[in-house]
Structure 1
Amino acid sequence: MMDPRPGGAPTVLRMVLGKRLQDLREQAGITYEQAGRELDVTHATIRRMEKAEVGLKIPYVEKLLHVYGVTSPEEVSGFLALAREANRPGWWHSFRDVLPDWFSAFVSLEGEAAVIRAYEPHYVPGLLQTPDYARATLRAGQPHAAPAEIDRLVTLRTERQALLSKPEAPLLWVVMDETVLRRPIGGRKVMREQVDRLIEATELSNVRLQIMPFAVGPHPAMYGPFHIFRFQLQEIPDIAYSEHLVGGVYFDERDDVSSFLEALDRMCAQAAPAQSTKAILDGMRKEI
């Protein structure tokens, strides 16, 4: 399980380099304890570096590469350059005044994933929300937040949506409960605009939407929403994310993620096929 504690929200590149350090250590036959003694730190620090739970201190990385037998100046220089890049704040760092540390990891994973799959029983996913719909949901979830803070969060949410139109955009595959479309949020005008946005999204080649009708009855994920991120880089496993009222939990253990994948695969089979989503949305649009 990933540990996105304050100051430790991992960037994807940091995760990649952590995995490469782990591979180099294991290939060299060196234990956590031995590596820790070389740096005069605890074995837990080495574990946390490999798990991307702490930043990569350049002197530590350089010393470990030497200990692990990496002697080529070009290879060392290249690794250190990547480590410096991995330690740079992501674009979302400018929103650190309103962005919780535990959600910074989500934004990083979202921005680097090749495939984003999700189940959403309550709201339209953030990547597909209109500004007015986003403002209404944020206000409902944070009733004591100042208007300026809500504005900042809406801006962050809309800027995240740019990834869907980038040259190598990820596949976004979402199963939404019918409840999402039946729950009035922000008034009729806001809901009409939001449904229109979803209809537009069905035309995108990298977006696949499925609606889970009430009529199908119970399904495997009635406990709540979740996301699954898949990456092209082999160093990074599939990662599942589940959110609760005051935080989020990230799962990267194979058995845990497999449970999420199995549930979502079953739900995709139960839900209305993606080809019919536009017709469903057109029908609901007329009812609003």
Structure 2
Amino acid sequence: MVLGKRLRHLREQAGISFEDAARAIEVTPLTVRRIEKAEVGLRIPYVRELLRTYGVPSSEVDDFLTMAREANRPGWWYSYRDVLPDWFSAYVSLESEASVIRLYEPHYVPGLLQTHDYAAALMHVGFPNATKEDVARRVDLRLRRQDLLAKSDAPAVWAVLDETVLRRPVGGAEVMRAQIDRLTEALDMPKVRIQILRFSVGAHPGAFGPFHYFRFGFSELPDVVYTESLVGSVYVDQPADVVTYLEVLDRMSVQAEPVARTRSILDELREEL
């Protein structure tokens, strides 16, 4: 997406139309549009010729082509494609590149913070007809995603969890105790913030369902909001719509218990188990 937008900027800067760019690489104007929108892979011969047509210096062409080759490589999650729905692979990609992840979860602990047993219990419920092998691979994929939090350039993660998340029994009391311990440990991570939205808050603007907000370190990428259903997902990137979600997150963050109270709340809930 970043490189596609940079190609569009270079084309416009050079004053070249879609039609002229298409003639340079012997394709249709639609193909050029799709390249710029990241709807197709970056074919290196096409990119090289487009850059030449746009008058990009040869020293910069090599750097651009190196980035294009890297962009074409499958992500680490490609090996899990047998258990990864197409509509969710985009989520894993966004998650891997985000600099900020903010989310509201009314039902379950976010995948980035789940324990093995908690994730397995959810997978058995969510995929009742899956084989043990498939369940194991889905759990492994979820845990692999958590490697993101250990990176030196890990994203800032700010989660608002409904109190229901911590009171809904998943996998039994022992699994829930371990899961609460995992959340407590996560509070020690410098880039992780967790807030609890108490029942006593009553009605709130995010009650319609979970959603995740992503911000990136590239000016070419817009902020994106992700929501999902039983059979698919929606990725929202129109600025006015994204701002609506962000404002809701801000309001819920004010309504939720302060981050400084999260540890004691988790301790209280664990005692009840």
TM-score normalised according to structure 2 size: 0.96
Letter in 1 for 2:217: Q
Q: CA offsets per residue over residues 73-132 of structure 1, 9 Å max, x none?
A: 221111111111110011111111111122121111111211111011111000000000
1:16 pairs with 2:2: yes
1:66 pairs with 2:40: no
Of the structure 1 ranges 56-65 and 273-282, higher mean CA displacement relative to structure 2 is found in 56-65
> Shift of residue 182 of structure 1?
1.1
1:263 to 234, 248, 269: 248
Q: CA offsets per residue over residues 245-271 of structure 1, 9 Å max, x none?
A: 112221222112111111111111111
Letter in 1 for 2:18: Y
Letter in 2 for 1:53: E
2:93 to 105, 108, 130: 108
Partner residue in 2 for 1:54: 40
Letter in 1 for 2:110: P
Letter in 2 for 1:262: E
Q: CA offsets per residue over residues 263-285 of structure 1, 9 Å max, x none?
A: 11111111111110111111100
RMSD over equivalenced CA pairs, Å: 1.3
Distance in 2, Cα, partners of 1:48 & 1:217: 46
Distance in 2, Cα, partners of 1:23 & 1:78: 17
Distance in 1, Cα, partners of 2:185 & 2:158: 15
Distance in 2, Cα, partners of 1:150 & 1:128: 18
Partner residue in 2 for 1:155: 140
Partner residue in 2 for 1:40: 26
Distance in 1, Cα, partners of 2:28 & 2:226: 29
Letter in 2 for 1:45: T
> Shift of residue 67 of structure 1?
2.1
2:128 to 143, 162, 165: 143
Partner residue in 2 for 1:204: 189
Distance in 1, Cα, partners of 2:215 & 2:241: 14
Of the structure 1 ranges 35-44 and 208-217, higher mean CA displacement relative to structure 2 is found in 35-44
Partner residue in 2 for 1:30: 16
1:90 to 67, 75, 86: 75
Residue pairs, 1:192-231, within 5 angstroms? 192-231=177-216
- Poorly superposed stretches of 4+, deviation over 4 Å: none
> Shift of residue 46 of structure 1?
2.1
Letter in 1 for 2:206: A
Distance in 1, Cα, partners of 2:51 & 2:267: 58
Q: What is the aligned length?
A: 273
2:162 to 171, 177, 186: 177
Partner residue in 2 for 1:167: 152
Letter in 2 for 1:51: K
Overall identity of the aligned pairs, in %: 61
> Shift of residue 214 of structure 1?
1.1
2:105 to 120, 128, 149: 120
